[in-house]
């Protein structure tokens, strides 16, 4: 089984596995990202379920701009040394229609309601969400 087949088996309603696996093809400053090693595949599942539920409830598109990052790629994009992207527990999402604040507020509400424990970061054009197991908020 490859990573795309693994993701297909999750039966997500609103995300196609290719939206996640295409992140492994990204290049920044001459450094190509990669797909996560198999021992980190399961780590993304809770985050994907949260993102899939948010996309369903908000009824607008969410575009994945970052998922797993290899250590070299994370350094090339200026990611934090302890980034949850390295652990394959994080997604950066751009909401359709520029509804960044609405996505951020919805994820905060989901977390407050007990749907997950993790990080939520607000940026100008996207929202970071992860399921690290403890709550963290920034932006």
Nearest to 77 by CA among 86, 106, 21: 86
pLDDT in tens, 18-66: 999 999 999 999 999 999 999 999 999 999 999 999 999 999 999 999 9
pTM of the model: 0.95
Could you identify the residue written with the tokens 């949850």? 84
pLDDT at 53: 97
pLDDT in tens, 66-122: 999 999 999 999 999 999 999 999 999 999 999 999 999 999 999 999 999 999 999
Opening angle at CA 20, ends 102 and 99, nearest 5: 15
pLDDT at 125: 96
Cα–chain center distance at 34: 15
State the distance between the two ends of the chain, measured CA to CA, in whole angstroms.
38
CA distance 17 to 45: 12
Cα–chain center distance at 74: 14
What is the domain extent for residue 110? 3-138
Q: Tell me how far CA of residue 68 lies from CA of 65, 106, 129, 133, 139, in angstroms.
A: 10, 23, 12, 17, 21
**Based on the structure, what is the number of domains in the chain?**
1
Cα–chain center distance at 134: 16
Tokens describing residue 68: 């797993």
Give residues with Cβ within 8 angstroms of 57, minimum separation 6.
106
- The neighbour count for residue 10, using CB atoms within 10 Å, is 14
What CATH number has the domain bearing residue 97? 3.30.1380.10
């Amino acid at each position: 089984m490859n990573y795309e087949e693994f993701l297909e088996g999750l039966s997500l309603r609103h995300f196609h596995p290719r939206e996640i696996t295409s992140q492994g093809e990204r290049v920044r400053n001459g450094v190509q990202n990669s797909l996560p090693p198999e021992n980190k595949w399961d780590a993304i599942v809770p985050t994907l379920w949260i993102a899939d539920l948010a996309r369903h409830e908000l009824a607008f598109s969410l575009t994945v701009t970052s998922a797993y990052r290899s250590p070299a790629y994370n350094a090339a994009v200026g990611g934090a040394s302890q980034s949850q992207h390295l652990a394959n527990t994080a997604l950066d999402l751009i909401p359709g229609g520029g509804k960044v604040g609405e996505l951020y507020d919805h994820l905060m509400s989901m977390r407050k309601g007990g749907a997950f424990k993790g990080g939520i970061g607000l940026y100008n054009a996207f929202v970071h969400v992860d399921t690290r197991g403890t709550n963290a908020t920034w932006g």
